[in-house]
């Protein structure tokens, strides 16, 4: 019971307390810089092992999906193929060896197989994915900007002004006013710098408080879901 529960909680408390203590202590205090640097190095090592564990988990989950022919299993095959091919090319590029090195290397020696796959396969696929997401964003914006109440009306009006102010059409519409070419861009910048910035700060403060509360729960041992223990 000690190794499964008490020891992970003790390690979590100590490791979580070190950054907090070293943040308030100056480097003039003996041992502060040493402990902080060592903990950061250990965290990098643990992150590497966690990344490897995540890759193993993804491979196992998708293999089970393919074996059971669950809906969408061809996408799991594509995911595994991309994972292994890009991983192999990444290792070959790092080692500077392999039969593809002379074929896919540019005359100046700067184009490695991994870079070639990234430029000719990954980047076009990424562009296609974001181009498809544009339609979903437009659909979500249409549903969000429906005038149902006062708040939705304000959101729709502000969005319309900002979008119009970002285009040359907005400057042309208000060009008949004195300084009309700069009027709508000024209103747009004011909306982005004052109301929008205030809302963003509120969201960031709320997210920071939530992250701090969750961190304290983990450090104090109240939150134990990472140990596989669920609260009843």
CB proximity list for 169: less than 8 A, separation 6 or greater: none
How high is the pLDDT of residue 12? 84
CB proximity list for 86: less than 8 A, separation 6 or greater: 114, 117, 118, 122
Enter the tokens of residue 103: 């074929």
How high is the pLDDT of residue 1? 60
How high is the pLDDT of residue 66? 92
Segment 201-220 shows an average pLDDT of 91
Give the range with max mean pLDDT: 101-105, 131-135, 213-217.
Answer: 213-217
pTM of the model: 0.58
Tell me the average pLDDT of the chain. 81
30-39 in b/e form (b: 16+ CB < 10 A) is eebeeebeee
Q: How confident is the model at residue 106 (pLDDT cuts 50, 70, 90)?
A: low
The answer to whether residue 205 scores a pLDDT higher than 90 is yes
Say which residue, 111 or 108, is predicted with more confidence. 111
Give the range with max mean pLDDT: 58-67, 132-141, 161-170.
Answer: 58-67
How high is the pLDDT of residue 105? 55
pLDDT digits (tens, 9 = 90+) for 43-67: 899 888 988 898 999 999 999 999 9
How far is the CA of 224 from the CAs of 16, 19, 41, 228, in angstroms?
Answer: 14, 20, 25, 7
């Amino acid at each position: 019971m000690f190794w499964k529960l008490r020891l992970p909680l003790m390690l979590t408390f100590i490791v979580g307390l070190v950054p907090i203590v070293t943040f308030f202590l100056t480097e003039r205090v003996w041992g502060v810089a040493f402990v902080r640097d060592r903990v950061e190095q250990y965290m990098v090592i643990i992150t590497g092992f966690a990344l490897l564990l995540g890759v193993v988990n993804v491979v196992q989950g998708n293999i089970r999906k393919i074996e059971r022919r669950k809906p969408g299993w061809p996408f799991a095959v594509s995911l595994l193929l991309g994972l292994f091919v890009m991983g192999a090319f990444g290792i070959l590029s790092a080692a500077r060896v392999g039969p593809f090195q002379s074929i896919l290397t540019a005359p100046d020696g700067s184009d490695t197989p991994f870079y070639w796959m990234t430029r000719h396969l990954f980047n076009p696929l990424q562009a296609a994915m974001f181009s498809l997401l544009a339609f979903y964003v437009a659909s979500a914006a249409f549903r969000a900007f429906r005038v149902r109440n006062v708040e939705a009306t304000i959101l729709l009006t502000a969005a319309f002004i900002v979008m119009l102010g970002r285009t040359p059409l907005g400057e042309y519409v208000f060009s008949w006013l004195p300084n009309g070419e700069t009027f709508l861009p000024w209103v747009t910048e004011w909306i982005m710098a004052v109301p929008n910035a205030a809302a963003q700060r509120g969201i960031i403060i709320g997210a920071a408080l939530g992250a701090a509360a969750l961190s304290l729960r983990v450090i104090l041992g109240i939150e134990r879901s990472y140990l596989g223990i669920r609260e009843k």
